[in-house]
Structures are given as C-alpha cells and as structure tokens.
C-alpha cells in the first residue's frame, strides 16, 4: 500500500500558479527528499501532501484513503507535519511541547495517560533531549530546539512524517544526527518526505529525490539519476563537481550559470 | 449552583414562616390590611432625585422627610438648598436607603435606574416622577407626589397658588414678542419641548433655538447666534471665575463684540432645572426683562441696531 | 517543580476568590457585615439585614464573580488563540457592541420601562456583533482578519455610541449614558444574575472546550491544523463564546477594562505558559480581582460611589506598564 499518492495536483494562489499537475508517491519505509530552488513550491507541495491546502476530490490519497474521507483527528494520528522554523509561541517546557504530539490520540476531555507519558519519554530519548525535559523552549539553542520539535512530531507515532527543512540552521553534527534519525525511522517502516537544501546529505540519506522547478517536477528517482549536470543546470543554474569518498557521494557547487 | 439558590429560597421561606408564626395572627392581619390598602400616611419619606427633593420639601412636613439626595443642599443647582440644610443626605444606593426603612421613596425616571429597579423588586413603595417639560407636567408631578404623601389638600393649594401666579404673568402679554435664546457653556442651548422653553414662552418671548428646529438640548453655533441676532441672550450664572474650555465661546472676540449689540440676561440655574412652582420666579424675572426691553424700544423707537 | 506548583496555584486562587466573594458580601456602605451574615445563615436575621445581604450584596458579589471569571477566561482564550499577550476580550468588538446596545435602550427610554431592557439591549448588541464579525472575517482562519474585523466593529460601535451621546437631547440621558459606560455593579439584583448567567455559562463552556486547540496553537496554525484541529471551527466557537459571555457581562455591568488583559498576563508564568492551564486559572484570577476591585470601590467611596470600570483601569494601567517594563528587562 502506498502511504501517499498524489495524482495531478495543481496549486494556485489566486492568479499565481505554483505547481501544475504533480504526481507523487510515497511507499512504506521510503525517505524522499524534496529539492529545488527557493520559491519553487516545495513547502506548498509538502503542505498539500499533509492535507493542509485544499485539493480536488480523488487527487490525494493518504494510506490508501481519499483525503476527504479522513476524519481530521484520525488523520492526525497517522500523519505528522513538521513546519519550518520550529516556532513555539509560548515559553512552555520541553516536555509540554512534546506532549502536544499526543493531542490527536487523546479524547476531548481526557488527561494524559501513562501511555502518553511513556511515548513522550521515548520520543525525548530518541531525539536525545530527555536531559532537558523540564527546561522551557525559549532557553534552548537552535540545535536543541530542532531536536525537540522532531521529538514532538515523533510523539504522534505517525505512519508518515512530512518535514519542512528540518536541518536548516543546524551545525554539521546536528544535521547528521537528524538525517541519521530519519534514516533509522524509515528503516523501521515510517514514510518520510523532507524538504532539503543540502544535496550531499540528500544524496546520502534519501531513497529518492524529487526535483521541482518551473511549476513541475524536473526529475525524480534515485539521487544519482536526479542530480545530473543537466538537471542541476536547469533547476539551480549551477555547475557542480560530484565525487565519492569511501563510498559516500558528495556534491560541491562550482559556479552559477549566467543564462 | 441552582441547588444553592434552592437552599437559599428555602432559608428565606423558613425565615418568613418563623416571623409569621411568632407574632399573634390578628396583629399580622391588621398589619397586612394596613400595608395592603396603604391607608397610612407615609411617615418616613426618602427622595433620591434633585427635583423630587424640592417637591418633597414643598409638600411634606419636615419630620416626615427622612433623607434627601446629596445634591439637595447645593445652592448652585437646588432652588431650595436652604430648606434642605440639616436633613440627612443620601447617594442613591439601595443599601443606605433600605436601612432607613422608608415607607415612601421618590425617584426620577432617568437617574439611578438599577437602584430604582432593585428597590421595587424588594417591594419598597417607590414612585418615579417624570421630568417636567411643561406647566401641566409640574401640576401633574405635584399632584402625584401629594397623593403619595397623603397631602392631597396641600398639593391642591400649591397648584392653585401656582396657577394664580402663572395667570398673572400670562396676563401681561404684548404683541410682537422679542426673540430670546439660551446660550450657555459649550454653546449649549435649549430648544422646544423643554421646561426652559415653556418658561420663556410664558414670559412672552420667542425661543430662537426652538424656531431653529432644536428640540430638547442642543448646540448653537456662534455663527448662527450672530446671524439670527436674538434680542436677548440668556446665560446661566457664572460658575468658575477663571473660565474653562466650556466657557471659551463666551471669550470669543466675535461673541464679545456681539454682546454689546444685544441684551445679556443671567438667570440663576436652580430656577430652570426642576419643574417646581419656583419656575415662576424665572418667569417673573424674565417678564421684568421684557418690560425693560419694551421701555427702551419705546424711547429709542426701534430695537437696538 | 512545575507539577508541584500547579495544584498549589489553583488552591490559592480558589481560596482567594472565595474570600473575595465573602468580602464582597460583607463589605458595604452600611453597618451590615460578618456578624449579620451569620445571623442570616442561622435564620435569625431581621428583614432589612436579610434583604441587604441576600438581595443587594449577594447578587452583586455573584455578578462580580461571574463577570470577573468571564473577563479572565475571555482574555486567556483570545491571547491563546491570537498568540498575542496584548489581546483582551474587547478586541473582537463585543464589548463596544454590547455597550452600544445598552446605550440605545437608555437613549430610547426603554431602559426606564423595565429593569432587564438594558441588559437585553446589551446582549442583542453583542450577538449582532458576532454576526458582523463572522461576515467580515468570513470562512477564513486568518487571525489577522479576525483582529481587523474586531477593530472595525469596535470603532463603528464606538462611533455610534458617541453619536447617541451627541444626539441625546436631554442632559439627564447623556449623564446616565456616561455613567453607564464607566462600568459598575452597584445595586444590580438577582434579575440581572438570572438574565446573564445562562449566556455566561454557555460562553464559558464553549471557551473552556478550546483548551487543547489553544495548546496545539502554541506550535502555530499549520502545526495545529496537522494535529487535527479545524481552525475555522475553533475561531467560530471562540467568537461565539466570547460574545455570549463578555457580551452578557458588559450588558449588566458596562465595560470593565484591564481585567481580561492583566490577569492572563500575570498568571501565565504560574501555569508554565501552557494555554489550556491558563484558562481556569485566569478565570479564577479575574473573578478574584474583579471582586477585590468592587470591594475597593465601596471602601474608597465616600459619598458618590466610584465606578468599577474606572477603578479597574486606575489599578490596571500602571500595573500593566510595570509588567511590560519588567518583561523588557528580562529580555535584555
């Protein structure tokens, strides 16, 4: 069964066309990287896939069921969306914030159960943030913050995770940590779509890449097939050097192309 | 919460029963009869409104008056401030009035609404006296309060004296009544359908504001005042010697210049505010002004240019 | 530490509110006080004492409690929903619309006919405001649009209130309107309690039910939506809840400012900034503060009673400034 299946999605904001006729599939245990230049519609596509933007009937199926047929709360139990920026409007404690991930699993008036607490504890440990569970979010560094918000998404125990630039602004070590975490989650069966700008990490960790540009998908498939010189030129207007060290591929941008 | 109120109701009912059972039943019966038919003359009367204060002072014996409003002894607004000295004052709060245990409360129809409704709810004998806009209203209000006080005869006398005095004033009519206007702080004027208008007409003046279509209180632009050129301008008594924003219009150069071409009249405020027989003082004062005006016009032949 | 603090906070708030409520029953312009309260409870009080305590002070205290609760809760809900600590219950226009409705009954003379005319006018005004806001904000979850709609309704209603004052042909009416606009609980009766209580209770239910959605909104609108919350529904519930409760509160007591702004602000740190925990705490805090302010009104007044709205603003404004200065220092 496909976790996500999009058939011909088009997104417009008023007169402005963002994306046109996008087809997209995500299978169980797959980690897909969404790449493309700024403003190409990556975030819009991710939000659409999360069911946050309106789609036409039969255009988007999540876990084999059409979006319209989903009860919002049930969908929220299966799908976690991690927006860009890791915003917390109030200075709540880390534990409280991560506990928010349990909201879809609790009834309207139900208090948090022992199971909820255990799952939150697991999520905190999995993201290596258990040691500052009682600290408030506003006292965290950027790296700590990113891990806490990931823990929040994991506390949902979703079947699929849609993450918007989860490693933006992190130092190299934390970038690796998060991508490793994604890899192990997808190995355990979770389907993950992540917007990512670092093409070396994208190449290294993602099963598939989807390259967006000019309102459409330029290329998709396994990373090496997508990140060709022509595609990079067309999508990012760059030339790049690609190589490998100890079987790890890398990509270094060399120059921008002037038309 | 509802349970609490049920309990409260229960307590209240029980308390009532205790009272009834403790007193000999015939006494209660007489008491009920007395209070129901309300034959007894009120012995403790409280007024919470400036105007009812004055009517009460005119109609009741002093010992009967339990309390007057705190405005009653202010001589800048009450025509009977002097009479009110020495009588207990109230601020129109239900609690302080209840404690006086009055058997009659006089209130106005506008002020202290929540208090009036609450006192009514608590079964106090309260009458609401409307604002008087005409001489008929004054007669009506006097009769209304006199009846409540069981002083019908006194009320009757007061009305008769009022009518006699009024008739005398009305008898001195002259053709071509001069035009007057009220002009006060904040360019405030008084048009038709007001007590002041009634007073003005009785004294044989035309009310400029009413003729300009103002009903009730309104604002008269300085410009309109000057273009309409009334024969007399009536202002209230000056309150603050240092002036204020409200009196700015009086300091205006245009007004100062215009003042010399017309007659300025000052009439003490308390005489206008409330509908009591004392409004006739205002009528008579204005009548004097009109007669003076007529005398000047006769000597000069024409009204002042 | 946080877990220990919370039950403590609620008991403190609960006990203070209870004491303030008792204080509100015991303190008044007359001698009637604590000892008389005992005689009433034991059923041996005389008629006057009973009436003063049960018919004048008790409804006043109950209204203080309910209105304070409404303002505290409403403020906490709106601050949570808009994620803005400067939001207050009047922001969406309900207070000014209710004031307008009430003022119109004074102007038209309806309020002189029966006691409930004025509060009914106020509630009608508040409900019309909701319709207008829903119409203006539309089926759009954007909070900015809600705020703009609120500002529009507020300024329009205030303008109309000024117009009514402007047109009042009788100085007595103008004075009455001015006094009413200042907000007061003086001499309200059980009629007012019965009229406003159902609206306030219904409003509270709608607002208290939004606790989890407000928690989810900590993460922003998208994340809250992805947690299964329909923001359009939540906005509608909140707008209706505020209109019912705050509208009814304004209808019986006039506009009482600052409680809904200051109380959530003050208590937020004590509930570890969690929006859902703030709701009840802020409600109780609002009730306590309103009751205390209403007691202050009676103690401070010699002669003419001060207006409650004036006192809350006098206490609230400097206090609020202090709070802002303190938070600024913490940020630096």
| Region at B181 (left for phi over 0; alpha for psi -120 to 50; beta for the rest) | beta
Cα-Cα-Cα-Cα torsion C230, C233, C237, C238, nearest 10 degrees, comes to: 60
pLDDT at B259 over 90: no
**Contact residues, chain B, for C192 at CB < 8 Å:** 114
Q: Closest approach of chain A CAs to the CA of C266, in angstroms?
A: 14
Least confident of A16-30, A53-67, A138-152, B252-266: B252-266
The whole-angstrom separation of Cα C263 and Cα A253 is: 55
The whole-angstrom separation of Cα C251 and Cα C126 is: 9
Instruction: Enter the CATH code of domain A2-256.
Output: 3.40.50.300
Which of A25, A21, A4 is closest to A12 using CA atoms? A21
Say how many CA atoms lie within 13 Å of B222 toward its Cβ: 15
pLDDT at B36 over 80: no
Q: Closest approach of chain A CAs to the CA of C69, in angstroms?
A: 21
Touching, B vs A (3+ Cβ pairs under 8 A): no
Mean pLDDT on B162-166? 94
Burial (0-12, 13-18, 19+ Cβ within 10 Å), C14: middle
pLDDT of residue C6: 60
Confidence of residue B24 (pLDDT cuts 50, 70, 90): very low
**CB-nearest partner of C227 from A47, A93, A100:** A100
The whole-angstrom separation of Cα B178 and Cα B215 is: 20
pLDDT at C162 over 70: yes
Least confident of A42-51, B21-30, B85-94, C121-130: B21-30
Q: Which two tokens stand for residue C275?
A: 């929006």
Partner-chain contact C170 B114, CB within 8 Å? no
Q: Which residues pair with A4 in a beta bridge?
A: A26, A62
Out of 3.40.50.2300, 3.40.50.1980, 3.40.50.1370, 3.10.580.10, the CATH code matching B174-300 is 3.40.50.1980
Rounded to 5 degrees, what are φ and ψ at B265? Answer: -125, 135
**Contact residues, chain B, for C50 at CB < 8 Å:** 12, 15
Q: Which of B14-18, B301-305, C131-135, C202-206 has the highest mean pLDDT?
A: C202-206
Touching, B vs C (3+ Cβ pairs under 8 A): yes
Angle at A117 between CA A116 and CA A118, to 5 degrees: 90
Nearest CA in chain C to B51: C172
**CB-nearest partner of C169 from B95, B113, B218:** B218
Least confident of A25-34, B59-68, C165-174: C165-174
- DSSP assignment of B47-90 equals E-SHHHHHHHHHHS-GGGEEEEETTTT-TTT-TTHHHHTTS-EE
The whole-angstrom separation of Cα B66 and Cα B53 is: 11
Determine the residue among A49, A92, A101, A137 to mutate to test chain C binding: the one whose Cβ has the most chain C Cβ atoms within 10 Å.
A92
pLDDT of residue A92: 94
pLDDT of residue C319: 79
Q: How far, CA to CA in Å, does C287 sit from each of C80, C238, C259?
A: 19, 20, 9
The percent of residues above 90 in pLDDT, for chain A, comes to: 73
Which of C325, C197, C246, C211 is closest to C75 using CA atoms? C246
> What's the DSSP call for residue A93?
B
> What's the DSSP call for residue C28?
S
pLDDT of residue C44: 79
Query: Is B91:C305 a contact under the CB 8 Å cutoff?
Result: yes
pLDDT at A11 over 80: yes
Least confident of B162-171, C130-139, C210-219: C130-139
**Contact residues, chain B, for C176 at CB < 8 Å:** 110-111, 113
Confidence of residue A99 (pLDDT cuts 50, 70, 90): very high
Q: How far, CA to CA in Å, does A129 sit from each of A89, A186, A244, B59, C274?
A: 20, 20, 33, 86, 20
Confidence of residue C33 (pLDDT cuts 50, 70, 90): confident
| Region at C87 (left for phi over 0; alpha for psi -120 to 50; beta for the rest) | beta
pLDDT greater at residue B35 or residue C239: C239
| Region at A39 (left for phi over 0; alpha for psi -120 to 50; beta for the rest) | left
Out of 3.30.420.10, 3.40.50.1980, 3.40.1010.10, 3.40.50.1100, the CATH code matching B41-163 is 3.40.50.1980
Query: Is A194:A209 a contact under the CB 8 Å cutoff?
Result: no
Q: Which residues pair with B294 in a beta bridge?
A: none
Which of A152, C302, A247, A180 is closest to B93 using CA atoms? C302
pLDDT of residue B42: 92
Angle at C39 between CA C37 and CA C45, to 5 degrees: 105
pLDDT greater at residue A162 or residue A112: A162
pLDDT of residue B173: 67
C319's CB contacts (< 8 A; 6+ apart) are: C262
Q: Is C6 on the interface with A (CB under 8 A)?
A: no
**Contact residues, chain B, for C52 at CB < 8 Å:** 95, 98-99
Least confident of B21-25, B156-160, C179-183: B21-25
pLDDT at B303 over 50: no
Least confident of A107-116, A220-229, C266-275: A107-116
pLDDT tens by residue, C299-320: 887 667 788 998 898 888 887 7
Would you kindly state where each structural domain of chain C is located, as residue ranges? 2-331
Q: Is C133 on the interface with B (CB under 8 A)?
A: no
The whole-angstrom separation of Cα C248 and Cα C99 is: 10
pLDDT at B285 over 60: yes
3-state secondary structure A10-66: EEEECCEEEEEEEEEEEECCCEEEEECCCCCCHHHHHHHHCCCCCCCCCCEEECCEE
Q: Which residues pair with B26 in a beta bridge?
A: none
First vs last C-alpha separation in chain B: 76
**CB-nearest partner of A81 from C223, C268, C272:** C223
Least confident of A121-135, A231-245, B238-252, C187-201: B238-252
Q: Which of A30-44, A106-120, B169-183, B278-292 has the highest mean pLDDT?
A: A30-44
Query: Is B232:B266 a contact under the CB 8 Å cutoff?
Result: no
Mean pLDDT on C188-202? 92
Would you kindly state where each structural domain of chain A is located, as residue ranges? 2-256
Query: Is A130:A121 a contact under the CB 8 Å cutoff?
Result: yes
B269's CB contacts (< 8 A; 6+ apart) are: B76, B77, B236, B237
Confidence of residue B39 (pLDDT cuts 50, 70, 90): low
**Contact residues, chain C, for A100 at CB < 8 Å:** 215-216, 218-219, 227
**Contact residues, chain A, for C217 at CB < 8 Å:** 89
pLDDT at B189 over 70: yes
Query: Is A96:C219 a contact under the CB 8 Å cutoff?
Result: no
Rounded to 5 degrees, what are φ and ψ at B243? Answer: 75, 170
Determine the residue among C227, C268, C272, C279 to mutate to test chain A binding: the one whose Cβ has the most chain A Cβ atoms within 10 Å.
C227
| Touching partners of C (3+ C-beta pairs < 8 Å) | A, B
pLDDT tens by residue, A232-250: 999 999 999 999 998 889 9
Mean pLDDT on C37-56? 82
Q: Is C33 on the interface with B (CB under 8 A)?
A: no
pLDDT at A108 over 80: no
> What's the DSSP call for residue A212?
E
Rounded to 5 degrees, what are φ and ψ at A250? Answer: -140, 160
pLDDT tens by residue, C248-270: 999 999 999 899 999 998 899 89
Determine the residue among C4, C87, C223 to mutate to test chain A binding: the one whose Cβ has the most chain A Cβ atoms within 10 Å.
C223
**Mean pLDDT estimate for chain A:** 92
Confidence of residue C330 (pLDDT cuts 50, 70, 90): low
Instruction: Enter the CATH code of domain C2-331.
Output: 1.10.3470.10
The whole-angstrom separation of Cα C68 and Cα C256 is: 9
pLDDT of residue C35: 79
pLDDT at B239 over 70: no
pLDDT of residue B240: 45
């Amino acid at each position: 069964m496909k976790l996500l299946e999009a058939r011909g999605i088009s997104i417009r904001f008023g007169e402005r066309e963002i994306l046109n006729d996008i087809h997209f599939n995500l299978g169980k245990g797959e980690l897909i990287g969404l790449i493309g230049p700024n403003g190409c519609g990556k975030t819009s596509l991710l939000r659409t896939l999360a069911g946050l933007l309106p789609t036409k009937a039969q255009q988007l199926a999540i876990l084999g069921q059409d979006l319209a047929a989903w009860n919002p709360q049930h969908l929220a139990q299966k799908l976690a969306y991690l927006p860009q920026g890791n915003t917390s409007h109030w200075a709540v404690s880390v534990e409280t914030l991560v506990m928010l991930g349990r909201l879809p699993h609790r009834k309207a008036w139900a208090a948090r159960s022992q199971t909820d607490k255990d799952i939150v504890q697991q999520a905190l440990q999995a993201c290596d943030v258990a040691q500052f569970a009682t600290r408030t979010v506003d006292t965290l560094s950027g790296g700590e913050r990113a891990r806490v918000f990931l823990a929040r998404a994991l506390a949902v125990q979703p079947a699929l995770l849609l993450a918007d630039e989860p490693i933006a602004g992190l130092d190299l070590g934390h970038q690796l940590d998060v991508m490793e975490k994604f890899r192990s989650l997808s190995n355990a069966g979770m389907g993950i779509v992540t917007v990512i700008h670092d093409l070396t990490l994208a190449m290294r960790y993602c099963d598939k890449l989807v390259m967006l540009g000019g309102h459409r998908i330029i290329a998709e498939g396994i990373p090496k097939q997508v990140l060709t010189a022509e595609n990079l030129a067309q999508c990012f207007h760059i030339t790049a050097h690609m190589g490998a060290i100890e079987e790890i591929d890398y990509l270094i941008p060399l120059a921008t192309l002037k038309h | 919460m509802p349970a609490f109120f049920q309990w409260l109701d229960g307590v209240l009912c029980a308390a009532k029963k205790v009272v009834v059972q403790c007193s000999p039943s015939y006494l209660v019966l007489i008491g009920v009869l007395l209070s129901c038919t309300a034959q007894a003359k009120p012995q403790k009367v409280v007024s919470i409104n400036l105007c009812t204060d004055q009517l009460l002072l005119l109609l009741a014996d002093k010992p009967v008056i339990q309390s007057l409003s705190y405005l009653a002894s202010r001589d800048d607004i009450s025509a009977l401030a002097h009479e009110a000295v020495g009588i207990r004052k109230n601020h129109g709060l239900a609690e302080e009035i209840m404690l006086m245990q009055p058997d009659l409360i006089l209130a106005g129809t506008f002020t202290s609404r929540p208090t009036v409704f609450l006192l009514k709810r608590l079964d106090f004998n309260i009458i609401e006296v409307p604002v008087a806009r005409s001489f008929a209203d004054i007669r009506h209000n006097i009769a209304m309060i006199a009846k409540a006080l069981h002083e019908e005869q006194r009320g009757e006398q007061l009305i008769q004296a009022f009518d006699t005095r009024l008739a005398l004033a009305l008898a001195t009519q002259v053709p071509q009544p001069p035009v007057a206007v009220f002009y006060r702080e904040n360019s405030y004027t008084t048009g038709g359908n007001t007590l002041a208008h009634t007073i003005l007409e009785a004294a044989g003046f035309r009310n400029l504001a009413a003729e300009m279509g103002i009903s009730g209180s309104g604002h008269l632009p300085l410009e309109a005042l000057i273009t309409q050129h009334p024969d007399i301008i009536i202002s209230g008594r000056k309150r603050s010697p240092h002036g204020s924003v409200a009196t700015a219009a009086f300091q205006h150069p245009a007004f100062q210049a215009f003042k010399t071409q017309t007659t300025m009249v000052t009439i003490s405020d308390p005489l206008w505010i409330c509908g009591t027989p004392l409004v006739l003082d205002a009528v008579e004062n204005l009548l004097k002004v009109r007669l003076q005006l007529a005398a000047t016009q006769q000597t000069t032949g024409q009204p002042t240019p | 530490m946080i877990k220990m603090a919370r039950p403590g906070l609620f008991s403190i708030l609960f006990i203070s509110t209870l004491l303030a409520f008792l204080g509100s029953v015991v303190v008044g312009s007359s001698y009637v006080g604590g000892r008389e309260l005992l005689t009433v409870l034991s059923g041996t009080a005389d008629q006057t004492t009973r009436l003063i305590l049960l018919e004048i002070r008790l409804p006043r205290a109950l209204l203080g409690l309910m209105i304070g609760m409404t303002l505290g809760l409403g403020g906490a809900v709106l601050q949570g929903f808009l994620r803005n600590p400067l939001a207050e219950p009047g922001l969406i226009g309900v207070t000014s619309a209710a004031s307008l409705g009430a003022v119109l009954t004074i102007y038209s003379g309806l309020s002189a006919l029966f006691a409930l005319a004025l509060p009914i006018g106020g509630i009608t005004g508040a409900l019309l405001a909701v319709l207008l806001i829903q119409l203006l904000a539309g089926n759009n979850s954007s909070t900015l649009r809600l705020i703009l709609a609120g500002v529009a309704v507020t300024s329009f209603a205030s303008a109309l209130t000024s117009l009514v004052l402007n047109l009042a042909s009788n100085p007595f009416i103008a004075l009455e309107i001015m006094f009413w606009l200042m907000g007061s609980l003086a001499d309200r009766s059980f009629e007012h309690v019965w009229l406003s209580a159902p609206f306030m209770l219904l409003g509270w239910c709608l607002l208290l039910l939004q606790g989890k959605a407000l928690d989810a909104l900590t993460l922003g609108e998208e994340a809250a939506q992805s947690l299964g919350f329909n923001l359009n529904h939540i906005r509608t519930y909140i707008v209706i809840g505020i209109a019912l409760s705050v509208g009814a509160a304004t209808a019986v007591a006039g506009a009482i400012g600052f409680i809904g702004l200051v109380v959530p602000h003050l208590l937020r740190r004590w509930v570890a900034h969690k929006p859902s925990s703030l709701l009840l705490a802020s409600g109780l805090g609002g009730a306590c503060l309103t009751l205390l302010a209403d007691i202050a009104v009676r103690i401070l007044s010699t002669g003419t009673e001060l207006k409650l709205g004036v006192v809350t603003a006098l206490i609230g404004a400097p206090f609020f400034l202090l709070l802002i200065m303190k938070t600024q220092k913490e940020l630096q």
